[in-house]
Amino acid sequence: MSSPSIGTRPKTTENVRAGKASQPDTRNLDSYVNKIRTDFESRLGHMVEIPTVSMDPAHKADITRGADAAVELLRACGATSAEAVPTSGNPVVVGEFKTGNPAHPTITIYNHMDVQPAQEPEWKQEPFKFRKDGDRYFGRGSTDDKGPGITALFAARYAADNRIPLNIRFVWEFEEEIGSPHFEEFLKKKLPSLATDSVLVSDTIWLSASKPAIPYGLRGLQPARLVLRTGGKDAHSGLTGGAARNPIGELAQVISKLYDARTGKVFIPGFYKDVVKPTATEIKSFKASGFNVKSFQAAHELHSLRTTNPLDVMVRIWASPTLEVHGIVGGYTGPGVKTVVPPFAEAKVSMRLVPKQDPSKAFALLKKAVKAINKDVEVHEESGLVPYDGPFTGPYADAAREAVQFGFGTTPAFIREGGSIGAVVTMQKHLKAPIMCIGLSLPEHGYHAPNENYDWGQARGGIRTFVHYFSKVAGMR
């Protein structure tokens, strides 16, 4: 297997064309990384300060602004072309670094540039104000997923400057956080022009700050809203209590009949039917992953867990389905106790799904179960995500392992991950190319959490990792 020539040696069209490659020259790469740091930070800061919250319609204009800025950013970093592709929902930004030689293989790098809302009271700063504190970068979206995306972009810039014989295509989505409802529409629309030899996704999280992870499986997701309206306005619980229905009480009853929150066991009939349990090989690899319960708890600030057995925790978060309640709307939430009977309540729930579970089927089971408990509760479907089950052996896995070793000086664990990236499954279906998930985020970066951050150590190692990976896959066709 050949790999491209990069480094300080004079580059010629000849040795690029020959597809000849060696290990990247670290001195040159390191000086590049040091040189671009200020530029990297200012580009990241600019993107973080655009509040591209896809979940909130109030941020529609920010999404447009974010997509324009993303096109600008790609061009500024040397993309040979960049455009925002409109869909029925938010646009998808596509940027290309073409070598000019169609014989060179193509890699597609997926990231998303939309972010979670940031209304948590625990934020110690304006969430959409970029703040640099030493090597650490704070702000919503810094690690999920703007930081890793821009890290990959700076790696691509190096690859282009150093003529790595690889066509690099960026696909930046703006609807990942709402389940990628129009990503398939985008893929179908642009399909012939999106042909690729492999896909790299950088939107996943390490096991810990010292243990990189390459997830080969992702859980699926099916969110839903359970809504119960029993009145037109807040009623006085003295004047009506006893006769009036209480929608929060009734939803609490529904929830507690859907699952046992203490153990996590889901009571929805048929829920576990299609679940494929992890194989013995996988369990062995989980055990060897270096997963540590204490570090996991510390990173996510979980005071206690449903279980502290390490394997049980891993199987629960990577390979088991869940039901979760994310919030209950309706009723009084200010200081003290206001004795109202609220007129309606909405529970925001979701199910994480594992291979062979189907989101639509899971929703149908949920709806049936809810209606059997309380027929007045409306069950609203939100965009679902199919679980992902990918390869963890073969040349791309080997290249990824070597690249991480080169970038960070330590080997990654091949694990499953508990999160969901809808686009991954859609790309698997339409692009029919191997997908590798090389994430750069750390548990303590706070995905979806207040005071989200990213750091220079991960960006620096990330650029090194991706450059090495590019040099490897440039030779695979």
443 binds its own copies (CB under 8 A): yes
Phi first, then psi, for residue 169 (nearest 5°) are: -120, 130
252 or 283, CB closer to its own copies?
252
How far, rounded to the nearest angstrom, does the alpha carbon of residue 350 sit from its chain's CA centroid?
A: 16
Q: Which two tokens stand for residue 233?
A: 């306005």
Contacting its own copies (CB under 8 A), which of 4, 223, 355, 407? 223
296 binds its own copies (CB under 8 A): yes
Q: Residue 205 has what DSSP assignment?
A: B
**Shortest distance, position 249 Cβ to its own copies, whole Å:** 3
Phi first, then psi, for residue 358 (nearest 5°) are: -115, 130
124 binds its own copies (CB under 8 A): no
181 binds its own copies (CB under 8 A): no
Contacting its own copies (CB under 8 A), which of 446, 461, 462, 475? 446
239 binds its own copies (CB under 8 A): yes
The answer to whether the CB of 341 falls within 8 A of the CB of 237 is yes
Long-range contact set of residues 76-79: C-beta below 8 Å, sequence gap at least 24: 76/43, 77/43, 77/153, 77/154, 77/156, 77/157, 78/156, 78/157, 78/160, 78/161, 79/156, 79/170
Q: Which two tokens stand for residue 337?
A: 């106790």
Task: Report the half-sphere exposure of 36 (CA within 13 A, side-chain side).
Answer: 24
Candidate segments 90-98, 106-114, 163-171, 260-268, binder of its own copies by CB under 8 A: 260-268
- CA-CA distance, 355 to 385, in Å (whole number)? 11
Candidate segments 97-105, 271-279, 316-324, 403-411, binder of its own copies by CB under 8 A: 316-324
235 binds its own copies (CB under 8 A): yes
The H or E element that residue 453 is part of is strand 453-455
**Closest alpha carbon to 227 in 343, 373, 346, 331:** 346
Contacting its own copies (CB under 8 A), which of 65, 98, 306, 430? 306
20 binds its own copies (CB under 8 A): no
290 or 450, CB closer to its own copies?
450
468 binds its own copies (CB under 8 A): no
Cα R_g (the chain), whole angstroms: 24
335 binds its own copies (CB under 8 A): yes
Candidate segments 81-89, 166-174, 317-325, 360-368, binder of its own copies by CB under 8 A: 317-325
450 binds its own copies (CB under 8 A): yes
For 176-201, letters b (16+ CB in 10 Å) and e give bbbbbbbbbbbbeeeeeebebbbbbb
324 binds its own copies (CB under 8 A): yes
The H or E element that residue 110 is part of is strand 106-112
**Shortest distance, position 156 Cβ to its own copies, whole Å:** 27
Site residues (CB under 8 A) for its own copies, limited to 189-218: 205, 218
329 binds its own copies (CB under 8 A): yes
Contacting its own copies (CB under 8 A), which of 2, 11, 46, 244? 244
For residue 418, what are the CA distances in angstroms to 318, 330, 391, 405?
4, 30, 16, 24
How big is the CA angle at 169 (ends 163 and 172), to the nearest 5 degrees? 140
The answer to whether the CB of 409 falls within 8 A of the CB of 442 is no
* Residues linked to residue 416 through DSSP beta bridges, in sequence order: 217
Candidate segments 126-134, 359-367, 374-382, 403-411, binder of its own copies by CB under 8 A: 374-382
Q: Which stretches within 411-453 are classed as H helix?
A: 422-431
143 binds its own copies (CB under 8 A): no
221 binds its own copies (CB under 8 A): yes
Site residues (CB under 8 A) for its own copies, limited to 36-75: 55-57
448 binds its own copies (CB under 8 A): yes
389 binds its own copies (CB under 8 A): no
454 binds its own copies (CB under 8 A): no
10 or 337, CB closer to its own copies?
337
237 binds its own copies (CB under 8 A): yes
**Shortest distance, position 93 Cβ to its own copies, whole Å:** 22
Strands of 102-188 (E only): list them. 106-112, 131-133, 136-138, 167-173
Q: Which two tokens stand for residue 404?
A: 């991480």
311 binds its own copies (CB under 8 A): no
236 binds its own copies (CB under 8 A): yes
Number of shown-chain residues binding its own copies (CB under 8 A): 101
**Shortest distance, position 345 Cβ to its own copies, whole Å:** 8
**Shortest distance, position 101 Cβ to its own copies, whole Å:** 40
173 binds its own copies (CB under 8 A): no
130 three-class SS: coil
229 binds its own copies (CB under 8 A): yes
- Torsion angle of alpha carbons 18, 22, 27, 32, nearest 10°? 50
- CA-CA distance, 115 to 139, in Å (whole number)? 10
Contacting its own copies (CB under 8 A), which of 146, 169, 219, 464? 219
246 binds its own copies (CB under 8 A): yes
141 binds its own copies (CB under 8 A): no
- CA-CA distance, 32 to 70, in Å (whole number)? 22
251 binds its own copies (CB under 8 A): yes
